[in-house]
Amino acid sequence: MPFTLTLPVRFADVDPAGIVFYPRYFEMLNALVEDWFASLGFPFKLIHMEGKMGVPTVRLEVDFIAPSELGESLDLSLEITKLGKSSCQLAIDFACEGQVRLKALVVLVCMDLGARQSMPWPESLREGMHAYLA
């Protein structure tokens, strides 16, 4: 079962043509990932500030399928397609009323911020991630 989030397309998200300016999709994508980690009991404040751990994006592939417009609501969904020892690959879709607007493939790595190198996912986080394996 995917993790889902619905976000409105706001005035700040669009260009003068009234469609989502593509970098804003990446901010929405990051909000989805941040909310997903929070739902797993690992909010970014705990991960980054207290745990000295990061989850940087190391790969990002995006297909822009159709434009999104001011005033629409986007349904974002996230599933894990691969879960490794210290990385995970996510399949992310943005849709509006069932029409896919964006498809993304994202690879995140669990990182020790002090050592600046990858580290294994904490076991309790990894256990929660299993619920989102496709």
Q: What is the CATH number of the domain that holds 38?
A: 3.10.129.10
Residue 129 main-chain phi, psi, to 5 deg? -65, -30
Taking a C-beta distance cutoff of 8 angstroms, is the pair 94, 68 a contact? yes
CA pair distance 97, 38, nearest whole angstrom: 26
Supply the range of the domain harboring residue 85. 3-132
pTM of the model: 0.95
Q: Residue 19 carries which DSSP code?
A: B
Torsion of CA 68, 102, 134, 3, to 10 degrees: -30
Nearest Cα neighbor of 111 from 102, 101, 119, 99 is: 119
**pLDDT band at 31, cuts 50/70/90?**
very high
Question: Could you report the per-residue pLDDT of 43-96, keeping only the tens digit for each?
Answer: 999 999 999 999 999 999 999 999 999 999 999 999 999 999 999 999 999 999
Domain count, the chain: 1
